[in-house]
Structure 1
Amino acid sequence: MLHTTPGFERIGEENAFAVLARATELAAGGMDVINLGIGQPDFPTPPHIVEAAVKALRDGHHGYTPANGILPCREAVARRTLATTGVDVSPENIMIMPGGKVTMFAAILMFGEPGAEICYPDPGFPIYRSMIEFTGATPVPIPVREENGFAFSADEALSLITEKTRLVIVNSPANPTGGVTPRAEIEKFAAGLERFPGTAVLSDEIYDSMTYDGEEHVSLLTFPELRDRLIVLNGWSKTWAMTGWRMGWSIWPDAICDKVRKLAVNCWSCVNAPAQYAGIAAIDGPQDDVEAMMAAFDRRRMLVVEKVNAIDGLSCRTPKGAFYAFPNISATGWKAKELASALLEKTGTATIGGPDFGILGEGYLRLSYANSEENIARALKRIGNFLAG
């Protein structure tokens, strides 16, 4: 028998991919499946971005690049960061990553070990907890509550930090809830962290451009007092519909920049060369497609809220960011994962049960509105009919 290290016995996964696989299997068998499960835009990557990658290939960009990314790509990220946050970040503090998850992996690996504690949002992206447990650190959930508009509470987050806390993870706009934490709460959180100078912070800002109803995204980069221990996660996947390109970026404090560069050298060497040129085109090129996509998401968001709230037993707060709704199903009497499974198997409607995002996800489903308005309306009619018996 092969014996792997204990970490591999603790590692979890992202169930959205399992749901996608089952939905694909059912569709291949002839079922009419509507997928409201997977968290990726249903729009194509804008053509000028694709053409930039093709040109890079034709121009001979076929080899290795620096482990932290080509300088023009890091400079493009620095320009975007300045434009969106007002903060001037050096390209030397930027890492081009093969997707957003890799920043989580690197940061949690860097700070997690037996005896350490890492705080993370619950419900939240499942890889946070999975990676924390992989390192042997103790996961400490930061509750994200519906009654708080699915924003995290600064006081509650700060109350969970102890002398063992090595890293605190926050996410706004948030997956799976669509919650956006308001400026006042972010400011209170940043001020409170002054009491814990030895605790690093990972701010997952992958949905930074996806807000609605005048809500603003407040980056933790805008707090200079945090810069020496702040890691910011961002990337191209959501904003420019580039999930399959595996293109992310992160911003690191001076003290650990070289550590993450060395991790890259040891693990993934570098990011795909032509994809980095596509990343430059995404940031510096026209944003018309991004604006059109966000307008479509806004319409779909309101359609989801309207249709869900018309179903007996369901209630749904209006999401303020990302492209997810997180309706409350507790009045139906169903457990969330059992309902998600039944909806897929019986009606061909793919959703994700709230517990796949954490202990506090029970009583909720995640609905991704990265699908057409027609399909969203059809899917919610199916859900309503199923629950009505």
Structure 2
Amino acid sequence: MPRRTATLLASTLMLIALLCAGVLIPVPYAEMSPGPTVNTLGEHSGEPVLEISGRKTYPTTGHLNMTTVRVTGPDYTMNLFEAVYGWLEHDNAVVPHKTLYPEGQTAEEADQENAEEFSQSQESAKASALRQLKIPVATQTVVGSVVKDMPADGRLHAGDVIKAVDGKPVTEAAGVAKLVTLHKPGEKVRFTIIPAKTAAAAEKQGKRPSTGTKDITLTTQKAEDGRAIVGIQAEVDHILPFSIDVKLADVGGPSAGLMFALGIVDKLTPQDLTGGKFVAGTGTIDDKGKVGPIGGISMKTVGARDKGAEFFLTPKDNCATAAKDTPPGLTLVKVNTIGDAVSALQKIRSGDTDGLPSCSPAGRS
């Protein structure tokens, strides 16, 4: 065989081997890319995203779009070729798999965690929106979750209202653990609760449940640090004076909280918040209206601009990253609270955009 032909054949075989390796060799990475955006003022799959009953609502215009990031699933195995392509693709991000999914987490556990965070973000959004509008919101302490095979498993249930522990009234979620840890492992502790079904019936009428209490006695167990525990996570539940439903499936995580809250405020406010403008955004929110950072900010700004957004409400702690690569035509607006966001929307509606608090890259003012 001529030397030149042999060299060409060897090079071809090497290239084929490298391509095969790129396809077959798994790498511990996952990919993030811009996901769908949904207008919280509009409809999704034929239903209003936000449905309010029992309170006067007002017409809205424009957009207040929540944004999402599309990610590969926890069981997806990325190959070397896909990882390299993702690194080269401007709008996507390839990150270590463990960044999105802790080691050992199953697909079911990841879905459950995302669903719980999404549900909690809705409740915080409702409470923060009503408080922004000076509408009173009552609170109570409930069982948020129960750990399997722990003393509370099968005895207490998510949604049970905790009225007292050992006869001592519970006024905040943190107080439950404090009262339980007054015991030694193996001792009995008495919970006074209102069952979840009874509580839910009262809440539908906008009332704090006050009747139907029952006592549940549990034997505490020893935690790894030696404390007495029963295996529950106590949470704060908000009692709204009217019904607010968020109807949006196939979305998880807490990052839509801010935009849900603003959508609620807009629907309950006589004056249109956006003035017909296309505003998108992201951010977690707590029940006091504090806005928190999220992941995948760069992909969310790209997704928003692709859909036509002119302004993007950006959590303060995400500003520096978002400003490094802002899509052309999109104005980043820095927000730290729901009040900041409402003020920004008022400026956008009036056309006073020069006064908007803007994001800038790290190291610049």
- TM-score greater than 0.5 by the shorter chain: no
Higher RCO (CA 8 Å, separation ≥ 6 residues): 1
Which protein has the bigger helix share?
1
TM-score (norm 2): 0.27
TM-score (norm 1): 0.26
Which protein has the bigger strand share?
2
